Amino acid sequence: MASFQSYIQLFPIVLLLGCGGGNTSSNVESPGEQTSAKTRTLAAGADLIQNKAPLRQLDMYLDGFHFYNGDQRAQMEAHHFCSTINEDVTQCVIYDGNGENAKIMGVEYIISEKLFATLPVAEKQLWHSHVYEVKSGELIAPGIPDVAEHELMEKLVSTYGKTFHTWHTDQEFTLPIGHPMVMMGFTKDGQIDPKMLSDRDRRFGVSTEAKKKDRATIQSPAIQPGANAWQQGNVVQLELTKSATADHSHRAASQ
């Protein structure tokens, strides 16, 4: 068996190739005319000519699950394509699938326990812990060797995520309508829809239960105060409102 060090040297390549297996289609098809030959040609030309340095940094693929803050019944699978900014900060683009028709659902920012501890109390309410997601086997890095995934999960287990979904394809919205929603992660057994979890395992050819047993050796750090605020009844969610400034400007214009 190859050593973990050899995987580390190829980690960006291995993680990117890990996107293979378990093709997951988007939940929706958006309205609109079929892509024309001209548009395809322009896109192909741009692909060859333009610099896409930020996109090339999306070299880590994670598959997990979210639910709407304040409504644990509204659950969905989330495909994260991430780039590491430094040892303490990771940023992810979230899709509703991993196929060519996948839709961008939102973003997740992942920070270390050290940085989470520096956040204001009100800010911490927007963040969720990753301890249970890792230890339960729910969070996976599809396609990479087990030894590399285990090492990655050892790093992620103590991190915290702040997630917003901007396109609610789980509700079969064919366009990104409505407002962004704050998302949370599961924290104990019995919360996630077992069918959703088993469907994911079947598509990727993995066993959440087997991963849970394998990760028993990963230490469970104490969850920092302020995270997973929904568990204490502190549910923070966004809403659309008309600003006082806009309302004042409208009244002044009508006078």
* Residue-wise pLDDT tens digits, 147-162: 999 999 999 999 999 9
- Residues linked to residue 67 through DSSP beta bridges, in sequence order: 75, 184
Record the pTM: 0.83
Whether the CB-CB separation of 156 and 130 falls below 8 Å is answered with: yes
Confidence of residue 40 (pLDDT cuts 50, 70, 90): low
Q: What is the pLDDT of residue 239?
A: 86
* Residue-wise pLDDT tens digits, 75-117: 999 999 999 999 999 999 999 999 989 999 999 999 999 999 9
Domain count, the chain: 1
Q: Tell me the Cα Rg of the chain.
A: 20
* Residue-wise pLDDT tens digits, 236-249: 998 888 877 655 54
Q: What is the rounded distance in angstroms from the CA atom of residue 32 to the CA atom of residue 1?
A: 50
Confidence of residue 56 (pLDDT cuts 50, 70, 90): confident
Q: What is the pLDDT of residue 35?
A: 64
Residue 56 lies in a domain: yes
Residue 63 lies in a domain: yes
Residue 119 lies in a domain: yes
Q: What is the rounded distance in angstroms from the CA atom of residue 191 to the CA atom of residue 73?
A: 9
Q: What is the pLDDT of residue 18?
A: 46
Q: What average pLDDT does the segment 35-64 reach?
A: 75
Residue 67 lies in a domain: yes
Residue 35 lies in a domain: no
Q: What residues make up the domain containing 167?
A: 4-28+41-254
Please give the residue that has the higher pLDDT: either 218 or 3: 218
Which stretches of the chain are DSSP H helices? Answer: 4-9, 11-17, 37-49, 53-56, 113-116, 121-124, 131-135, 146-156, 194-204, 208-214, 244-254
Residue 133 lies in a domain: yes
Whether the CB-CB separation of 218 and 202 falls below 8 Å is answered with: no
Residue 34 lies in a domain: no
Residue 117 lies in a domain: yes
Residue position matching structure tokens 């030959």: 37
